[in-house]
Amino acid sequence: MATFETMTAEIASAYDDLPGLSLGWRFLYSPKKTLEDSNGFAVFGFNPGGDVFEPPMPSVEAGNAWLRSVERWPSPNTQPYFLSLVGKMLRGVAPEGTAPFLARSLTSNISPFRTGGAIELPRAAYLWSVAFWERHFDVLTAQRFILAVGNSDVRSPYAVLSALFSRNGWHAEPEDKMPCGWGSYVVRVCRLTKDGAGVVIAGVPHFSRFETRDPATVGALSQMLARALS
């Protein structure tokens, strides 16, 4: 497994070399120790958002940036909707509490490069980002349950992560779809196995607009997480 320093150096070099990037980058939304020693629960978004440059941020040593006690993001929904779901999912597996548990959870993005919106990420930067996780695939295989924030298209975290595992010889069971509680939007679940190991990838509609709140779905995700981490 590559070191934190090696991976951040790769990102910094690519940011300087790739065209169309000017707003900065960030790698982990969790402490750097989660790269090599996580609790098996991971959170992946697509890329950092924002319309102004921010200095590079390799990690968040104060805890998990998805919590408003650590960072406060401009979106009024993203962090509260995240905590509403994840707080319920963790009740049976995190006796130490949500914040300490998430401080041990690998948290990152498909792409480290900031853009004003996901659609604005240049294609070259997107392809580099997918190849980055392909090179460092062992980081992903160390996880047991990955919460993918966004599941709507082929560039979504759910689609990218599912495809990465499949390309690397992991067997995917038939996909499950469950209502999220907002109209026709669904949670998509992919279970993958290889050589006795297993990972669950749960793709939820993005928290910036949608709260996954269907009680049966939240209960099912909680049970999947508990089984994956047992």
Domain segments of the chain: what residues?
4-229
Q: Dump pLDDT digits (tens) for 151-203.
A: 998 999 999 999 999 999 999 999 999 999 999 999 999 999 999 999 999 99
Would you say residue 21 has pLDDT above 80?
yes
Strands 41-45 and 107-109, sheet pairing: parallel
Q: What is the pLDDT of residue 202?
A: 98
CATH 3.30.1330 fits 4-229, yes or no: no
Would you say residue 218 has pLDDT above 80?
yes
- Is pTM beyond 0.85 here? yes
Q: What is the pLDDT of residue 198?
A: 98
Are 212 and 187 in contact by the 8 Å Cβ rule? The answer is yes
Q: Dump pLDDT digits (tens) for 67-98.
A: 999 999 999 999 999 999 999 999 999 999 99
Q: How far apart are CA 64 and CA 104, in angstroms?
A: 8
Residue 208 token pair: 């910036």
Are 158 and 169 in contact by the 8 Å Cβ rule? The answer is no
Q: Dump pLDDT digits (tens) for 97-113.
A: 999 999 999 999 999 99
Q: Dump pLDDT digits (tens) for 111-144.
A: 999 999 999 999 999 999 999 999 999 999 999 9
Q: What is the pLDDT of residue 1?
A: 77
- Cα dihedral sign for 214, 155, 173, 35? negative
Q: What is the pLDDT of residue 5?
A: 97
Q: How far apart are CA 103 and CA 97, in angstroms?
A: 10
Q: What is the pLDDT of residue 2?
A: 83
Question: What are the residues whose beta carbons fall under 8 Å from the beta carbon of 223, sequence distance 6 or more?
Answer: none
Are 226 and 88 in contact by the 8 Å Cβ rule? The answer is no
Per the prediction, the chain carries an average pLDDT of: 97
Strands 145-149 and 197-204, sheet pairing: parallel
- SS3 for the chain is CCCHHHHHHHHHHHHHHCCCCCCCEECCCCCHHHHCCCCCEEEEECCCECCCCCCCECCCCCCCCCCCCCCCCCCCCHHHHHHHHHHHHCCCCCCCCHHHHHCCCCEEECCCECECCHHHCCHHHHHHHHHHHHHCHHHHHCCCEEEEECCCCCCCHHHHHHHHHHHCCCEECCCEEEECCCCCCEEEEEEEEECCEEEEEEEECCCCCCCCCCHHHHHHHHHHHHHHHC
Q: What is the pLDDT of residue 4?
A: 97
Q: Dump pLDDT digits (tens) for 30-76.
A: 999 999 999 999 999 999 999 999 999 999 999 999 999 999 999 99
Q: What residues pair up with 189 in beta bridges, in sequence order? A: 176, 202
